[in-house]
Amino acid sequence: MTSYFRLFLDLCLFRQPVTNVPRSDTLLLVTGATAIVTGALNASPDERLSSALFLGASQILVFAIVIWMALRLRGLRERWTQTMTGIYGAVTVLQLLTIPLSAWHARLIPVEAQGMALTPPLLAIAAISIWTLAVMSSVLRQAMQIPIAAAVLIIIGCQLLLLMLVFSMIGST
């Protein structure tokens, strides 16, 4: 287990190529599930646990579908398991860093405060979010053999699609 954690940490630090991630359906399911849980834990100070889990699962599903389609269009469908395992594993590592920061940020916000307050932990979370975008883009760039700008656009497109889906669901309730 520690060797997998080290591998995903090295992906986050751009020390390992995505080709070193094992092609394992079991590892894909484990990393996907842990990405959902760590994402929910990050959202839980602001959201109900059920909403946070739904958001995390939606993100995993949107990324899986969009990246599967992108790999398929490039004729690289066989790289999907490895690519998604790398992305989910790296995202999990980075989300583990933000869990204590989210809790710290929540403690710094006065109960009566409305809106978002800029705090040091929130700035750190923003920096980690940008790093997450860079890591996901790097993994996708390697898997698809495309320029980094194209990979960034695909990852941002996934995020926008997720936001549109979430807002459409919120609007329909």
More confident residue, 45 or 163: 163
| pTM of the complete model | 0.89
- How many structural domains are present in the chain? 1
Q: 66, 144 in Cβ contact below 8 A?
A: no
The pLDDT confidence band at residue 65, using thresholds 50, 70 and 90, is very high
For 6-29, write each residue's pLDDT tens digit.
Answer: 999 999 999 999 999 999 999 999
The pLDDT confidence band at residue 137, using thresholds 50, 70 and 90, is very high
DSSP state of 76: -
3-state SS string over 129-146? HHHHHHHHHHHHHHHHCC
What distance in Å separates the CA atoms of residue 114 and residue 41, rounded to the nearest whole number?
Answer: 22
What distance in Å separates the CA atoms of residue 98 and residue 103, rounded to the nearest whole number?
Answer: 9
In a 3-state reduction of DSSP, which class is residue 1? coil
Q: Does the pLDDT value for residue 42 go beyond 90?
A: no
Q: What is the mean pLDDT of the chain?
A: 89
What distance in Å separates the CA atoms of residue 88 and residue 108, rounded to the nearest whole number?
Answer: 30
Q: What is the pLDDT of residue 59?
A: 87
Burial of 36: CB neighbours in 10 Å, binned 0-12, 13-18, 19+ = buried
Instruction: Look up residue 59 and give its two tokens.
Output: 């993100």
Domain extent for 83: 2-110+117-172
